[in-house]
């Protein structure tokens, strides 16, 4: 069983990878990757240039020479392999070569990609030295002397210089560099100071040029010294005699700066960088061997290296210095080069050919454009639009049947050029074939439909993925989603979900249909309309209930206490106030005023002996029963009960009524009337 699975799994993977149909692709140059330059001679034939590209159908190759099909050039090219073979290299084959890779990625259309240019130069050196005139050079011993290498013959590659002692046609030996003698990069021979032994009888000096590729040396510009002795040889302070000028070097290359100081004794040489810091050897700076610090190499130039460098020479007599401006120049520098693109139909494709000059140099000219290797006019149309001074090309409203093509651009200046090549591949977009309702409000027990299907270009495998919450699901669906890989059906059955699970399916489900060059997304919002009530844990709930109950009981007790206090305070305020009955309230009677008018306060005062001059012992009729015969209503009842005493009925001698109250607790000494009465009332009236 395990063996069967081992075979089945790879087969399934292969089936998935081959489920996409073969997709046409425009050519893309793989080699050469950048411009190249070669120096060739007749002995280098045959010489081969290689071109390699990818594409579907497989590209075929052709070559152009100096911008057009080669005619009369000794080379052959293989349209299948892309190899160009130069059978015999001469001055005629010197020039620029460019490869074209072509196929029919678009129906009935030749789509072409172009390689960077390869430049071939003929190795050579002129046969004769143009100037063979002999020169006699007078000089005084102790003086500085410079012998120039005049009328140099042309050499490819650049020649190397060495001076020789010669006698007639015989070479006696080379003049070696030393602290006192030095040959610079232009071929001049410097004597920091001349000595009489620099003149050798019957010998002169000749400049020698060495072509390393041809392995030959040519001599010329002969000089004869005439030295006038000086005794003693004078001492001379350090003086600047030569420095590199102009010091212009290409970015990314190495620069070699030279300075020569004469003087006796021999000067010592030091260098300072553009920040005036003393230069020592490190990964960036190096002093060239046998130059006695006269030649400084600055490696791998960048634009920031540009600036003023100082060379200083000094000896015991004096010192001097000279400044050299290092100019770092360059061909165009890419900001954004052309790049191949695969874009779905109905969209736009944007190609940028943006370059800049080196810092401080003049602006570049607008780029030159090509379509499928043919010059392209820089003008706007319904399909093509140029912007940003022709640095940007937009291909609009793409159509697969007509817009598969390649573009090239060339940006140049006086130093060099940059070449860009890119192809446009147009494909069918991703199309959604089916999708569910995009907003679904559900209740417990519903089925949530999440099925999305689509199609895309036959050359690509359409892939699916989910996004829900903060998670992306590539291989499996989100929680609780049931998915069928074959039918692409997807749904959620809420019947068997717990309340907690049911609550968690609420949200937006994103279904991405995608491949490397396109994506389409369907967003499905699921709204749970009946969210379950989450019951807190029992321990927490009990604690919360007891706390609330205690708080409510305390509030009720507080309210009751406040009500009781309010009632008691109101009762206290009402004490001592005469209560009005309904008739009194109706007649607007003032009780206090009535009492004052009736003399009640006087009658209620405890009388003394002076108040009753005719008082007789025995009182009134003893047979009169006050309680039985006199109806006093509520007032007399209240008086009877006052302090638990007794009320006696008495009359004055003149027949007027008086009442006497006797306390049970003490002997009465006061007689008073319990209510205002008519003093003239008779007994029968009473």
Q: What is the pLDDT of residues 494-550, one digit of tens each?
A: 998 999 999 999 999 999 999 999 999 999 999 998 654 555 555 444 455 677 788
Residue 647 has pLDDT above 50, yes or no: no
Q: Which are the contacts of 483, defined by CB distance < 8 A and separation ≥ 6?
A: 476, 477, 489, 490
| Residue 161 falls inside a structural domain | yes
Residue 435 has pLDDT above 50, yes or no: yes
Q: Which tokens go with 605?
A: 């005062």
Residues 26 and 91 in one domain: yes
Residues 164 and 188 in one domain: yes
Tell me what percent of the residues of the chain surpass a pLDDT of 70. 77
Residue 312 has pLDDT above 90, yes or no: yes
| Residue 76 falls inside a structural domain | yes
Residue 644 has pLDDT above 60, yes or no: no
Enter the DSSP assignment of 685: T
| Residue 538 falls inside a structural domain | no
Q: Is 122 helix (H, G, I), strand (E, B) or coil?
A: strand
Domain, as residue range, for 183: 126-233
pLDDT band at 182 (very low <50, low <70, confident <90, very high): very high
d(CA 671, CA 435): 113
Residues 436 and 411 in one domain: no
Predicted pLDDT of residue 14: 39
Q: Which residue has the higher pLDDT, 196 or 631?
A: 196
Closest CA to 176 of 205, 202, 214, 217: 205
d(CA 185, CA 159): 10
How much is the average pLDDT of 98-111? 90
Residues 83 and 59 in one domain: yes
Residue 16 has pLDDT above 80, yes or no: no
Residues 359 and 322 in one domain: no
Residue 164 has pLDDT above 90, yes or no: yes
End-to-end Cα separation, the chain, in angstroms: 135
Which of residues 172, 204, 233 is at a domain's end?
233
Residue with tokens 């009888």: 201
| Residue 668 falls inside a structural domain | no
Residue with tokens 């212009």: 248
Distance of CA 214 to the CA centre of its chain: 56
Residues 141 and 212 in one domain: yes
How much is the average pLDDT of 256-266? 97
Residues 228 and 269 in one domain: no
| Residue 536 falls inside a structural domain | no
What distances in angstroms separate CA 413 from CA 233, 332, 364, 439, one per listed residue? 53, 7, 6, 60
What distances in angstroms separate CA 669 from CA 91, 243, 605, 608, 672, one per listed residue? 167, 150, 11, 8, 10
| Cβ atoms 430, 454 nearer than 8 A | yes
| Cβ atoms 343, 398 nearer than 8 A | yes
Residue 577 has pLDDT above 60, yes or no: no
Predicted pLDDT of residue 622: 43
Ranges 213-217, 461-465, 536-540: which has the least confidence: 536-540
Residue 588 has pLDDT above 90, yes or no: no
Q: Which are the contacts of 667, defined by CB distance < 8 A and separation ≥ 6?
A: none
- What is the number of domains present in the chain? 6
Q: Which tens digits make up the pLDDT trace of 453-462?
A: 999 999 899 9
d(CA 370, CA 114): 9
Which of residues 479, 510, 528 is at a domain's end?
528
For 549, half-sphere exposure in the C-beta direction (CA atoms, 13 angstrom radius) is 6
| Residue 533 falls inside a structural domain | no
Residue with tokens 């060099």: 416
Which of residues 412, 427, 442 is at a domain's end?
427
Mean pLDDT of the chain: 83
How much is the average pLDDT of 322-331? 96
How much is the average pLDDT of 57-63? 95
Residue 383 has pLDDT above 80, yes or no: yes
Residues 134 and 192 in one domain: yes
d(CA 153, CA 130): 7
Residues 312 and 346 in one domain: no
Residues 226 and 273 in one domain: no
Residues 102 and 186 in one domain: no
How much is the average pLDDT of 116-141? 88
Predicted pLDDT of residue 48: 94
Q: Which tens digits make up the pLDDT trace of 619-637?
A: 434 444 444 444 444 444 4
How much is the average pLDDT of 486-500? 93
CA angle 398, 399, 402 (to 5 degrees): 115
How much is the average pLDDT of 322-334? 96
Q: Which residue has the higher pLDDT, 596 or 427?
A: 427
CATH number at residue 365: 2.60.40.10
Residues 85 and 63 in one domain: yes
What distances in angstroms separate CA 574 from CA 85, 416, 542, 578, one per listed residue? 132, 116, 49, 9
How much is the average pLDDT of 561-587? 67
Predicted pLDDT of residue 15: 41
| Residue 542 falls inside a structural domain | no
| Residue 557 falls inside a structural domain | no
């Amino acid at each position: 069983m395990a063996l069967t699975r081992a075979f089945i799994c790879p087969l399934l993977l292969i089936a998935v990878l081959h489920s996409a149909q073969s997709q046409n692709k425009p050519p893309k140059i793989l080699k050469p990757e950048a411009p190249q330059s070669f120096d060739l001679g007749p002995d280098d034939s045959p010489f081969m240039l290689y071109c390699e590209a990818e594409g579907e159908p497989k590209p075929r190759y052709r070559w152009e020479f100096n911008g057009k099909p080669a005619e009369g050039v000794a080379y052959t090219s293989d349209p299948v392999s892309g190899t160009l073979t130069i059978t015999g290299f001469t001055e005629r084959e010197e020039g620029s070569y460019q490869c074209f890779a072509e196929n029919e990625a678009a129906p009935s259309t030749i789509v072409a990609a172009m390689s960077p240019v390869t430049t071939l130069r003929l190795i050579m050196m002129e046969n004769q030295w143009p100037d063979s005139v002999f020169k006699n050079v007078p000089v005084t011993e102790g003086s500085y002397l410079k012998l120039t290498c005049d009328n140099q013959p042309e050499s490819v590659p650049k020649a190397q210089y060495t001076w020789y002692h010669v006698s007639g046609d015989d070479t006696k030996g080379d003049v070696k560099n030393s602290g006192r003698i030095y040959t610079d990069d232009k071929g001049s021979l410097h004597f920091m100071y001349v000595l009489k032994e620099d003149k050798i009888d019957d010998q002169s000096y000749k400049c020698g040029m060495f072509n390393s590729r041809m392995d030959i040396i040519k001599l010329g510009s002969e000089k004869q010294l005439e030295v006038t002795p000086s005794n003693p040889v004078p001492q001379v302070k350090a003086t600047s005699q030569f420095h590199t000028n102009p010091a212009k070097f290409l970015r990314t290359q190495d620069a070699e700066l030279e300075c020569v100081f004469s003087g006796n004794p021999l000067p010592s040489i030091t260098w300072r960088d553009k920040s005036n810091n003393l230069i020592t050897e490190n990964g960036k700076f190096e002093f060239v061997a046998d130059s006695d610090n006269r030649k400084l190499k600055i490696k791998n130039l960048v634009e920031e290296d540009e600036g003023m460098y100082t060379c200083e020479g000094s000896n015991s007599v004096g010192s001097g210095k000279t400044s050299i401006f290092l100019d770092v120049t360059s061909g165009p520098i890419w900001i954004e080069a052309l790049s191949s693109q695969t874009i779905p139909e109905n969209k736009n494709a944007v190609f940028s050919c943006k370059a800049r000059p080196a810092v401080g140099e003049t602006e570049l000219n607008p780029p030159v454009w090509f379509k499928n290797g043919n010059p392209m006019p820089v003008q706007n149309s319904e399909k093509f639009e140029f912007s940003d001074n022709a640095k940007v090309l937009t291909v609009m409203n793409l159509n697969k049947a007509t817009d598969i093509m390649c573009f090239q651009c060339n940006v140049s200046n006086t130093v060099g050029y940059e070449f860009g090549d890119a192809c446009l591949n147009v494909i069918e977009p991703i199309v959604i074939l089916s999708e569910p309702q995009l907003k679904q409000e559900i209740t417990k027990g519903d089925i949530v439909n999440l099925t999305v299907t689509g199609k895309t270009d036959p050359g690509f495998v359409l892939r699916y993925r989910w996004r829900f919450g903060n998670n992306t699901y590539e291989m499996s669906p989100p929680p609780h989603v049931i998915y069928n890989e074959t039918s692409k059906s997807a749904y959620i059955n809420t019947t068997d979900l717990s309340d907690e699970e049911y609550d968690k399916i609420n949200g937006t489900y994103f279904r991405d249909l995608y491949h490397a060059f396109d994506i389409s997304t369907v967003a499905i919002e699921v709204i749970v309309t009946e969210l379950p009530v989450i019951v807190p844990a029992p321990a927490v709930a009990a604690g919360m209930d007891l706390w609330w109950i205690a708080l409510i009981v305390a509030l009720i007790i507080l309210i009751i206490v406040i009500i009781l206090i309010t009632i008691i305070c109101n009762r206290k305020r009402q004490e001592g106030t005469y209560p009005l009955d309904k008739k009194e309230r109706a007649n607007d009677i003032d009780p206090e005023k009535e009492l004052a008018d009736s003399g009640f306060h006087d009658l209620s005062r405890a009388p003394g002996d002076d108040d009753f001059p005719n008082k007789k012992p025995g009182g009134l009729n003893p047979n009169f029963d006050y309680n039985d015969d006199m109806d006093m209503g509520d007032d007399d009842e209240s008086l009877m009960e006052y302090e638990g005493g007794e009320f006696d009925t008495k009359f004055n001698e003149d027949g007027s009524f008086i009442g006497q109250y006797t306390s049970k607790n003490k002997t009465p000494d006061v007689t008073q009337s319990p209510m205002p009465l008519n003093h003239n009332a008779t007994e029968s009236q009473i």
